[in-house]
Structure 1
Amino acid sequence: MEVASKLNWNPLLADPSGRRQNKPRTLGKTMVIDKGLGLHAFEDLLETSSEHLDMIKIGFGTSPLYPLQILRKKIEMAHAYGVCIYPGGTFLEVAIVQGEVSSFFEMILNLGFTGLEISDGSIEMKRELRNELIERGLDEGLDVITEYGKKGWGSSIEIEELIETVMLDVEYGAQLVTIEARESGMGVGIFDEHGTCKDEELNQVLSAIPAQDILLWEAPLKSQQVHLLQVLGPDIHLGNIFPQEIISLEALRRGLRSDTLSFANARS
């Protein structure tokens, strides 16, 4: 055991890109979507991948469907491994529709969630309410992540609306603004019905937003991750990653897969 504890991969092999930040990092954050992992699978995820993931989203409105002791345990484990955990923005949308925003906040704080996602993918939300929710989340000590984009099939990005949303969200204190792609990655946002990136829209977003590090791109499919990493670089924030794909994505970021081996070549 003593010999094994001294073993370490050469940095040139562990991270050929030479760019990967350690946690807590400001660049290259990864968000996992949890659509119903059991405790053992959740613990396995954290034991094997916690150094490579920064946020876990309990998908859409699944939070109240867990036995409370199970949900509490998942949140506690995320804390222990230094991972931000929050309920999906759709659940807050449900709370808005039901007129139960206060009880929503009370419950997520009592449970120990450390983040808040604010979205309007399925509802219409006035700017004033969005601002209030951002401020409330910050006042409660939560990491606030907002989201831009509708969830409907074929929904696209309105550039002027996106610019205004991102700038105001950040001004009010949001740490990141997520670009919607759902868990399917098809027919929404910057992806067409086949999941292929619409580069013209991507370029419009990039030309309009001054800093990439405020955007988190939902990209559940490997082809999307590869494309965005190749176009934007390994330091972009990516989300809606499936739990079993975390190590694979980390390999892409570091230049440890053939798709991104150029990241290693760029270092030499």
Structure 2
Amino acid sequence: MMLPTFLELPPRPGKPRATGMTHVLDNGIDLQTVTGVLDAAADYLDVWKLGWGTAYVDPTLSEKLTLIADHDVRTCLGGTMLEVAWAQGKASECLAWAHDVGFASVEVSRGVAAMEVSEKHDLIRRAARSFAVFSEVGRKDSQEELSSRQWTDEIIGDRAAGAQWVIAEGRESGSVGVYRADGSVRTDVVAAISRAGGIESILFETPQKDQQAWFIHEFGPNVNLANVAASDAIALETLRVGLRADTFGLSRQWLPI
């Protein structure tokens, strides 16, 4: 069915997008649900991350990766699995496996492993030989907050090592990294991240609707957002173009004078 065009809404770039990317988190959803999400929302999706180590235990992985790629959505291996492999001295085996099964990109993080920044940069360089790399910055433990300067230095180093994009940590809970425990945004950190990486190369993890709306208001409808629930892809698109109360003012900004 052709979508209506009678409203004046903020312009959104078509795929493949360099800005305004939506990155969704697959937390182990079944193949039938993946099919439904893609049939309804593939035009709004850019990156599909198989979170944590779900790819390692998913018996439908091959079918899932093929299906996602056929809908012109980039697949990404979650960073926690690569951290586990790195901690066991098997990062090379993990990267080789990810390439063999058909992942287009990998996430390189140090959210839980006792990995030095220099070791992360080495892992990014190794991964970048075969993949488009998303680096993730930020720790998953709320007691290990990075300073603004640490965020800045790590982002600059990740990009220099070969990361194409940087993901600002927020977890599925939206309560660590760029957020306080109550889910509110650490604006000083966001400002430092934006200065360090350039907003076009940064994806902010925004699992909660209020967090998505905050970043859209702050940076506009074409800010890159990550760790969105796959089932929320269309709902997020309505936020981006002002078709929801939380961003109602965006649609009014585009009315003819």
* Mapping for residues 90-129 of structure 1, pairs under 5 Å: 90-129=80-119
Aligned to 2:29, which of 37, 57, 74? 37
- SS of 1:261's partner is helix
Instruction: Give the CA deviation at 1:83.
Output: 0.9
User: Contact 1:154 / 1:192 at 8 angstroms: preserved in 2?
Assistant: no
Aligned to 1:240, which of 227, 231, 241? 227
| Residue identity opposite 2:22 in structure 1 | T
Instruction: Give the CA deviation at 1:182.
Output: 0.6
Q: Which structure 1 residue ranges, 4+ long, deviate > 3 Å from structure 2?
A: 203-206
* Mapping for residues 138-149 of structure 1, pairs under 5 Å: 138-140=128-130, 142-149=131-138
* Mapping for residues 179-258 of structure 1, pairs under 5 Å: 179-186=168-175, 188-206=176-194, 208-209=195-196, 211-258=198-245
Instruction: Count residues with an aligned counterpart.
Output: 255
| Residue identity opposite 2:210 in structure 1 | S
RMSD over aligned Cα atoms:
1.6
Structure 2 residue aligned with 1:63: 55
- SS of 1:241's partner is strand
Aligned to 1:88, which of 74, 78, 87? 78
User: Contact 2:155 / 2:193 at 8 angstroms: preserved in 1?
Assistant: no
Which has the larger displacement, 156-165 or 197-206? 197-206
User: Contact 1:154 / 1:193 at 8 angstroms: preserved in 2?
Assistant: no
| Residue identity opposite 1:64 in structure 2 | Y
| Residue identity opposite 1:125 in structure 2 | M
Could you tell me how far apart the structure 2 residues matched to 1:229 and 1:156 are?
24
Could you tell me how far apart the structure 2 residues matched to 1:264 and 1:123 are?
43
User: Contact 2:149 / 2:192 at 8 angstroms: preserved in 1?
Assistant: no
Instruction: Give the CA deviation at 1:185.
Output: 0.4
Could you tell me how far apart the structure 2 residues matched to 1:8 and 1:245 are?
19
- SS of 2:178's partner is coil
Gaps of 5+ in 2: none
| Residue identity opposite 1:167 in structure 2 | I
User: Contact 1:157 / 1:190 at 8 angstroms: preserved in 2?
Assistant: no
| Residue identity opposite 1:203 in structure 2 | A
Identity %: 31
- SS of 1:217's partner is strand
Which has the larger displacement, 23-32 or 146-155? 146-155
Structure 2 residue aligned with 1:9: 4
| Residue identity opposite 1:183 in structure 2 | E
Could you tell me how far apart the structure 2 residues matched to 1:154 and 1:219 are?
20
User: Contact 2:178 / 2:185 at 8 angstroms: preserved in 1?
Assistant: yes
Gaps of 5+ in 1: none
TM-score (norm 2): 0.93
- SS of 1:194's partner is coil
Could you tell me how far apart the structure 2 residues matched to 1:203 and 1:121 are?
21
Instruction: Give the CA deviation at 1:156.
Output: 2.5
| Residue identity opposite 1:58 in structure 2 | L
User: Contact 2:84 / 2:113 at 8 angstroms: preserved in 1?
Assistant: no
1:264 and 2:229 are equivalent in the alignment: no
